[in-house]
Structure formats: structure tokens, C-alpha cells
Structure 1
Amino acid sequence: MKKAYESNWFSGLLALLFALLLFFNANSNSSSTNTATNNQVYDEVLYNIPVKLEYDEDTYFVSGYEDSVTVHLSSANRIQLNLETNEDTRNFRVEADLTNLSLGTAEVPLRVTGISSAVTAELDPATITVTIENKVTKAFDVEAQIPESFNTEGYKVDSISISPKTVDITTGEDTMAEIAKVVAPLTSVTQSADTIRQTVNVQALDSRGQILSIENPAPQVKVSVKLSLPKKEVALKIISTGSLPSDITGYTFNTSEQMVEISGSNSVLESIDSIEVPVDISDIRTSIQKTVNIPVNGDYTVNPSQIEVTITPIYAGFSTSDSISSSTSRGTGSNGTADSSNTAVSSAESSENNQGSTEESTDSTN
């Protein structure tokens, strides 16, 4: 009995040792996991964060500084980091205190305020350079600044209207003395536009044409400029479209205008020698007159915008010359004449749209 008792006691002690070993091993693993988790750091980079300047805005004008910076945020708390990253929930601001600075130029350190203590912020750049002047305001007349491309494209300015004609410019005292003129810079326009209407922020320029720092936002003016566009005459080329009836080999076309005037920039006009005018000949079996629009795009305008086209079918067994004579006697244009260069269109042109019908008509003629 003694030996059995000692055996049970020994087994119990051994089991207790194993239990303690397992307990301490589990706690050790849990502690290691928590430590690894707690040591993880999250990062976010925010760009174009505005810089807020602290100074007497009624007395001084500040210029020459970077108005935004890059902010690098890091934290072991992902929730707090997300709150500061989101523009709608963030609490921090980037500031520069200028209240104790005197007039002139100085380098000022930036600081982050209002940020959670669980989040660390680093700024790039960490400092900005500012120029402090006494604030002054003065009225100036505004003139329109025409893009150089207008001259190269052949535009001529007929008239300019600016409203208001005079604006108040607020800037620093030293900068004000450098202002030579105040302009309303116009941007480029579509190549066929003959009138520019734009609302723009004015700019103050020095004697060398350099842009000076003024209040932001700058005053706005409305500008209207009437332009004369370069013009050119081009020929019209009739292109038949649609299905050719089986008993007709082609058509003749007589137009009210053989030339039209197009307006646009020099670069556009140089690329155009003629304009193709599509005319639908589907199911036309007798001589008729159609009003046809001349195709245009945003690069140019055309005058006139429409022409009258007399369409005369050429039946199988009739010569082209007979049809031209018939067309001239029955369907002249508004100018009362028929230009042979613009009148005869053979079935070969129509075959581009209905090749099978043309071949059948040609075979029947032969």
C-alpha cells in the first residue's frame, strides 16, 4: 500500500509540473503577440495641407511664402490616425506665428496644433520664408491681355469691353510702388470664335511684365472681345450617298454656289482647299432640287451655310452629255448658270456607296 501511495503522489506532482509549464508557455506566447501588435506603427502622407498665418491682417500684407506643405503622420493607433487623415474629421492645423516679427523678410518655423497625442506629425518643409509689408489699397484701370496666339493665328481685335473698368488692388506698400499696370489675362479660345467672353482674375504687373503678389482672391472682371477672323474661299465638292436605283447609272448635280467663304484661324484655313458636301440620291428618279447644309466643325465657320442642289438622274441608255444638257435646261441654280466642273457626276462616284447597283447598271448599258 505504501508503494501505491507514493506512486500516486509522484504522478500528481508530475502532472502539476506539466500544467505549470503549459500555463507559463501560453502566457509567454500571448505576451509576445501583444508586444508585436502594440509595436506596429502605421503611416500616412498628406499633401497640400494649407498653412495658416497668425498676424494682424488689417495692418500687414504677407507674401512670398509656400501656402501649403506635406505632412507625414504616424501612429500605433490606427483609429486615431484615420481620424487625422480624413479631411472631414481631422483636428490638426499647420500654423506659422508672425505676431512678433517686424517688417521685412524672415524665415519662420511651422508648427502643428490640435493633433491627437497618439499621432506624430512631421512637416515638409518645416519652415517658410515670408515678406511682411504695411497693407495698402489703390484703384487701377484694367486692360485686357490678349494671348500671343491671336496674332500668330491672324485674329484682329475689333473692340474690347471690360466691366468694371477700375478695380481696387490690395498689397504691400513696397509692392504697390512696383505696379506698372493691372491686366485681365484672357485664355485661348476655339479657333472659330469671333467673340470672347470671359470672367477672369486680374493680375498686377511690374515694368518688366512680372506678376506681383496681391490679395487672394484677386478682383474679377468680365471681358468681351470682338474679333475679325481670317477668311478664305474654297470650292465645294458634291459627294453622292445612298442607294442607286437599278435603272439609273448616275446623277448630275447643279449647285447654286460653287465657292463658299470659310472663317477660322490661319492654321485651319491652310489645311482646307475644298469641302465635301454629301447629297443623298436614294430613290431619286426625276430631276429635283434640294436644300443641303454645308458640313462644318468647331474649327471653322462657313458662309453661306446652305446651298441649293439640283439633282438629275442619268438613265441607262442615255449619255452623260444628254443629261447635262437636260439638267442645264431644267435645273440651273440661283445664279442662273450651270458650271460643268460642278455639274456632272458619273455613276462611278455613286458606286462608292452602292457598288452592286452601279455594276448592274453598267452591265445593262453595255
Structure 2
Amino acid sequence: MLESKWGLRFVALALALFMFLSVNNVFDELLNADSDTADMEIIEDVPVEILYEEEDYYVSGAPEQVNVQLFGNASNIKRLQTTRDLAVYLDLRNRDIGEYEEHFTIEGLPENVTAEIVPEAANVDIQELVTKTFEVQAEISDSRIGSDHELKSITVEPETITVVGGESQMNRIQYVRATLSDNSKITEDRVEEAEVSVFDAQFNKLDVKLDPGRVRVEIKVDERSKEVPVSFEVNGQVKKGYSLKSVDLNYETVEVFGSEDVLSGIDEMNVDVDIDGLSQSTSQDVKIDLPENVDRTEPAVLQAKIQVEENS
């Protein structure tokens, strides 16, 4: 047959038909159309659309997402898992102010597929809508500040946010806080983004809407320091026939930098002034020897003015 013109045409037509049916999943649909075995799959985190009068009411208690269990035709379920072309609703348009147990509804299911929503219902609270403006407070844990630093200032931008919620929730608001998620040590000025949360007097988080929900927090730190007086000790002897008249330092105090524990044990800094062999007045730089665990001093070097006079 393949040697004839009509035989070749028949084979070509059969191959073309086979490829057409394969590409369009006709074989899969025929194989599964009469199947008595129901397939079951789960689509997780399907968004919930809440239908209600948003200009007048506020709804709390409804989940943002649910899981959907699908039963039925395997190919249709597989296609739905890929496209996620379905919608879950919580219809509260005929509800007034109050508390309700409301069941979810679903749209977009193909033929031969049924669904169960988990959870199947939500306990919601419908309240009169209230809008208020609050100042945002940001707090930095002391453990985040480097041991040799101290917090200078915290600035939040924007300083205020708009809070929208039900009347009872809004009346419970005591704290509006910017929560910083970074736990790294702070040893220099920095800017972080923070999520804003709203709490009642017992620090229970309240179900309200925030605009904006994140703020910019500018953190400024200073090196920890302490001002202490400076004393000096004279080392050596002036040249024979001369006397030391006076020693004056150009600074009476210096700024000492270090941790809080180190600084608490420092009440004075001492320097050595070397006069050995001097026969005339002079000025000399005097370096401050740092005690253990002291980072630095300002100034780091002092100047000693030494007055020497000849014996009469």
C-alpha cells in the first residue's frame, strides 16, 4: 500500500490527525471522561475577596487566604492547579453591623470538578468604619547599640499614619509602634525600614488597616564618652644650676571614649612630663597613654609648657 500514491496520502493523513489529537489533549479527555476514580488535589493560599460596603463598614476576623480541595476529573484539576483560575468570596453585602459565621463561596470551577474550602466558614465582626491618625513610635533595643556607643536620636518618616478599623478596635488602640526586624549591632548612623503594628494596653495586636504599613526609621548614635580632668607627673631633673618653675598643660580635661563599664572606672587621666636635663623653658608634646579597653581620647596629644629658670 505504501508503494501507491493513495497509500502514502492515507498514512500522512493518519499521522496529521494523531498529532492534532495529541496536541489538544483529546486522548487525555477521552481516557478520563468516563473514569469512575475521582482525583483529589489541594490548591493552597487562594486569596479571599470580601464583598461588603467598604465606605461604611470594617470587617475583621476573615482570613486573607484559604486552601481549596478539588475533586473530580483529573485533567481539569491539573489544568486548574496550573492556571489557578478560580475565585473565593465572602459575601457580606446583605449583613449589617454585628458578628456572623459566614461561609465562603467559590467560582471558576470547570465541569466535573467540585471543591471544598478549608476552612469552610469564617467568624467575622462587622463594625462601623472609623479613621484616625496616630503618631508612630520607634524603639531600639539596648542590646542592639554597640557597647562603645549610645543612642542619640530616632526619627520616624512619616511621623504619623492613618489607621482604619472598626469602632471597638479603634477605641482599644494604645500603642502604634514601628517594629525593626534587623538585629545587627548599631555602631554608626543608619536608616532602616520598619513594619508598623498597632496594640492595645496588654500589647495584643489589633486587626486594623494601616496607611502606610511601613515607615523609614533614621537611627543616630554617638560614641560613648566621658570628660575627665588631666593630671601630670614630672619625670627627671632639670640641669644642675637650674630650677623648674612651672608646668602647664594646654587642656585641663580630656574626652575619654570607651564602653560604659570602662568609663565608670575612670575619674582622671594622667600624663608624664619629662624635664630631665632641661636648661631652658620649652614646650613639648605629651602623648596620653590609654588605659586598658579605652578606645581613644580627644585630644590624643597634649602640650606641656615648661618654665625653667637659672639659679641665682
Q: Output the TM-score relative to the length of structure 1.
A: 0.49
1:228 CA displacement = 4.6
143, 162, 173: which is aligned to 1:168? 162
Moved more, 163-172 or 34-43: 34-43
Q: Which runs of 5+ in 2 are unaligned?
A: 1-29, 226-255, 262-293, 297-312
Residue equivalent to 2:52: 55
Alignment of 1:119 onto 2:113: yes
**Within 2, Cα distance between the matches of 1:164 and 1:35?**
58
Contact 1:140–1:181, Cα closer than 8 Å, also in 2? no
Provide Cα deviations, 1:202-259, integer angstroms capped at 9, x if missing partner.
Answer: 222211222111116653321111235779xxxxxxxxxxxxxxxxxxxxxxxxxxxx
Provide Cα deviations, 1:30-78, integer angstroms capped at 9, x if missing partner.
Answer: xxx9799622332221111111111111111111222211111122241
Residue equivalent to 1:81: 77
**Within 2, Cα distance between the matches of 1:35 and 1:209?**
55
Q: Indicate the SS of the match to 1:170.
A: strand
Q: Output the TM-score relative to the length of structure 2.
A: 0.57
Cα 1:146–1:35 change in 2 (3 A) is closer
Residue equivalent to 2:208: 214
Which aligned pairs between 1:251-330 and structure 2 lie closer than 5 A?
none
Provide Cα deviations, 1:286-343, integer angstroms capped at 9, x if missing partner.
Answer: xxxxxxxxxxxxxxxx979xxxxxxxxxxxxxxxxxxxxxxxxxxxxxxxxxxxxxxx
Q: Indicate the SS of the match to 2:54.
A: coil
1:117 CA displacement = 2.3
Cα 1:179–1:148 change in 2 (3 A) is farther
Alignment of 1:41 onto 2:38: yes
1:47 maps to a residue whose letter is E
Residue equivalent to 1:190: 184
Residue equivalent to 2:174: 180
Alignment of 1:130 onto 2:114: no
Cα 1:76–1:263 change in 2 (3 A) is farther
Runs of 4+ in 1 over 6 A off after TM superposition: 33-37, 151-155, 261-264
- Between Structure 1 and Structure 2, the one with more strand by share is 2
**Within 1, Cα distance between the matches of 2:197 and 2:185?**
25
Which aligned pairs between 1:21-36 and structure 2 lie closer than 5 A?
none
Alignment of 1:101 onto 2:98: no
Q: Which runs of 5+ in 1 are unaligned?
A: 1-32, 232-260, 267-301, 305-366
1:200 CA displacement = 2.2
Contact 1:60–1:134, Cα closer than 8 Å, also in 2? yes
**Within 1, Cα distance between the matches of 2:137 and 2:143?**
18
Aligned length: 206
- Alpha-carbon RMSD: 3.5
Q: Percent identity?
A: 27
1:138 CA displacement = 1.0
**Within 2, Cα distance between the matches of 1:42 and 1:133?**
42
Contact 1:39–1:76, Cα closer than 8 Å, also in 2? no
Provide Cα deviations, 1:3-24, integer angstroms capped at 9, x if missing partner.
Answer: xxxxxxxxxxxxxxxxxxxxxx
